[in-house]
A and B are shown apart, each in its own frame.
Chain A
Amino acid sequence: MLKLHQWKLLALGLIANILLSANFALGDTKRWDVINWLDVVSEGGATLLALVWLLLILHSRPAGRVTQWLSLGLSCIFLAGFQDWLDEFITFPEAALWDHWVESGLMPIGLALLTLGIYHWHQEQIAINEQLRKRERLFREHRGLDFITQLNGAAYLRKQLQQELATHYRNQSSLTLVFIDIDYFDDTNRRYGHQEGDRFLQALGEFILLNIRGNDLLCRYAGDRFALVLPNTGRLMTEALAAEITRAIRHFAFKSRMQGESIFHTASIGIALTDSHQQDTADSLIERATVALLHAKEKRKSVLDQVA
């Protein structure tokens, strides 16, 4: 990411250099015994941190308006701090005022710009959250993110279920877990290779997201098994949604990269609803959905074998 911002960094380095030269040209260096080392360390540390923040932000963000505000603000703060720090080593004649301007003028400007940047960042985050809505709920954990589908994995699902089950039992509402498993997916992997299989899973993830509601959550459980969490959904509604998804998957004509031929798949579904009689845990819900899925596979096997 830093490559995107090399001009910004170059400009900042240039200004800092001019500032340094100006200080040496127009001021006199202090004697060692009048230097306040505590100030040197604390002001120098604060300046250095401002630079670290700037680098981290530039390294993690693409170019754009919000990045512009943030980097400008942090640059001003850095330059003001840098001048402040240089003051510890260099004295200026009484008449010279510019160093005060650099120091005290840039700081509030920088803080204002940074505030503006953070405000816009907040706005941007709201927009991104809307994009991520069906991929995450309640909390964020980037470490469990699946590389292929960019969905959350099984660890996230378990944690999510634990949290939601607690609140659902308090509010006496229901929670449904649906497993969606592709039939004979390893045939696709074997025939077309892992890269095609991965491409399919990625496309399928996006495709299922299009077929679910705003408050539903989709995770990639493992392999070709996806997990769907439906809050406040009864059995009939769940079955209707599941049927819609299987229909959609059956008609999803995924194209292979090399030949461009259509590859069709069918999916099996396993549904587990929270039990009102006994408290479910994340694991018990997952286990029931797994059993339901295996039953569904067994039942549809004769049909599937004819298809394959």
Chain B
Amino acid sequence: MNPDIPTTPDGYYLPQAWREIDTAFVHADGWPGNLIKLACTRGHQEHKLLRNTGIFLQDLSHKALQFSAAQLLQLIGNILKHPAGHELAFLLCNDLFTKSQTLENANNVHEFLELFTKDSYAISPLLSPHFHYEKERLVIYWQDNFGAASLMPFLLEMIFTALQIYTRRRAGYQLPWTYHVSHHKPAYIEQYQVHLGTQVLFNARSNAMSIARTELYRSWNPPGSATQIAQTFTIDTTHQKIIAPPMRGFLHEIYYYLKTNIHHNPHLEKTAQDFGMSSASLKRKLQKHNSSFQQQFDQARKHLALDWLSKEGITQEEVAQHLHFYDAANLRRAFKRWTGQLPGKL
């Protein structure tokens, strides 16, 4: 399910064009507009809702208006200041997919996820999915594209509920998803219970959702019952695909670059050079996305470590060597720091 990786013949990946936190690319008439409308009907005050976003309510009627990640994050931050703001994350489920008609062609979870990945930047601009098979399960990790920091729970709640409800509607039954989130159990646990069910694991190693592989190919009902609904959303969305080429968010691109080039032991200077900027600029840019080089490098190594250690026939020494640790003991120490567990207890 991975998109093709453009690399040089010796397997070295050079960065592609990316979007930054202040690039406007999310269509306002999709879920962001609905989020604002929903907040207004739920007693949020407009001036508080749009404070510091640079968005004005009268602009929302423009069809071509696009938001940047920074504006969306500010908007969500403002929403969460309202005592019942966290509720909205669970209510946008139907608005996320209305713009992607192609998804209706999927006939099972596997097909759905493939179509979803192609469109993932239109549906889920702030988080991108990474698919990974672990033993008998498919795990979908959710990668922060722009440095959402403390707003991660909101984004995860939004995409989790949306996927659960969409797949339930299409499959005709509740799929046995399990949700893993790295944040603590929140005070509003009732929202999780009602909207996501009981299979939510808090304080997890990473943000992910997983499902048994046997579920992936169970065929769904033909979309007969869905046609009636589809008719109400026959908005032409072709323009969106032309404007939004599959371009990654800045953090996603950095992460992808580091992960793909791990054998070349990437460091700050080389990365900056490949990204066409000075080390100082790269540092500044990472800081603007609430991150740092070390954080991204560690994240790439953590995911690779999790990946390789779950495979048969590769020793901890080899993993340590691939990830440029001095020895296996150092890898174990770093692993403990990243995940809170030792690699043996996977």
On A, residues with C-beta under 8 Å from B are 143, 146-148, 153-155, 181, 186-187, 189-191, 194-195, 198, 221-225, 290, 294, 301, 305
Contacts and interface: CB of A to CB of B under 8 A. Distances in A.
Contacts of A153: 84, 190
A224 B91 CA distance: 11
Contact of B84 (A146, A191, A223): A146
29 contacts: A143-B83, A146-B84, A147-B43, A147-B84, A148-B42, A153-B84, A153-B190, A154-B188, A154-B190, A181-B194, A186-B165, A187-B169, A190-B94, A190-B169, A190-B229, A194-B38, A194-B91, A195-B41, A198-B41, A222-B87, A222-B90, A222-B188, A222-B190, A222-B194, A223-B90, A223-B195, A224-B194, A294-B198, A301-B173
B279 interface: no
A153 B172 CA distance: 30
B193 interface: yes
Interface string B24-66: 0000000000000010011100000000000000000000000
A271 B85 CA distance: 29
A189 B208 CA distance: 27
10 closest Cβ pairs, A-B complex: A154-B190, A222-B190, A223-B194, A222-B194, A190-B94, A147-B43, A225-B194, A222-B191, A221-B190, A186-B165
Nearest to A143: B83
A260 B188 CA distance: 35
Contact of A191 (B87, B93, B229): B229
Nearest to B42: A147
Interface in B145-184: 165, 169, 172-173
B197 to A, nearest CB: 8
A294 B90 CA distance: 19
A301 B188 CA distance: 27
Nearest to B172: A305
Contacts of A305: 172-173
Contact of B94 (A148, A189, A195, A290): A189
Contact of B93 (A143, A186, A195): A186
Contacts of A190: 94, 169, 229
Chain B residues touching A, range = 20 to 34
Task: Tell which of B91, B187, B190, B229 has the most Cβ of chain A within 10 Å.
Answer: B190
Contacts of B93: 186
A190 B165 CA distance: 10
A117 B173 CA distance: 60
A301 B198 CA distance: 18
A298 to B, nearest CB: 9
Nearest to A291: B198
Contacts of A221: 190, 194
State the majority secondary structure of interface residues on A: helix
Contacts of A194: 38, 41, 91
Given A154-B189, A222-B191, 5 more contacts: A146-B84, A189-B94, A190-B229, A222-B87, A223-B194
B189 to A, nearest CB: 8
Contacts of A290: 193, 198
Contact of B193 (A146, A191, A198, A222): A222
A252 B171 CA distance: 28
Contacts of B42: 147-148, 198
Contacts of A186: 93-94, 165, 169
A76 to B, nearest CB: 36
Task: Tell which of B90, B91, B197 has the most Cβ of chain A within 10 Å.
Answer: B91
A48 B99 CA distance: 58
Contacts of A191: 229
B163 to A, nearest CB: 13
B168 to A, nearest CB: 8
Contacts of B83: 143
Contacts of A181: 194
A223 B191 contact: yes
A54 B199 CA distance: 53
Nearest to B195: A223
Contacts of B169: 186-187, 190
Nearest to B93: A186
A191 B169 CA distance: 12
A194 B197 CA distance: 21
A191 B172 CA distance: 16
Contacts of B191: 222-223
A143 B195 CA distance: 22
Nearest to B38: A194
A146 B165 CA distance: 24
Contacts of A223: 90, 191, 194-195
Nearest to A298: B174
B79 to A, nearest CB: 13
A186 to B, nearest CB: 5
Contacts of B87: 222
A223 B87 CA distance: 8
Nearest to A186: B165
B67 to A, nearest CB: 20
A155 B193 contact: no
Given A146-B84, A147-B42, A186-B165, A155 B187 contact: yes
A222 B229 contact: no
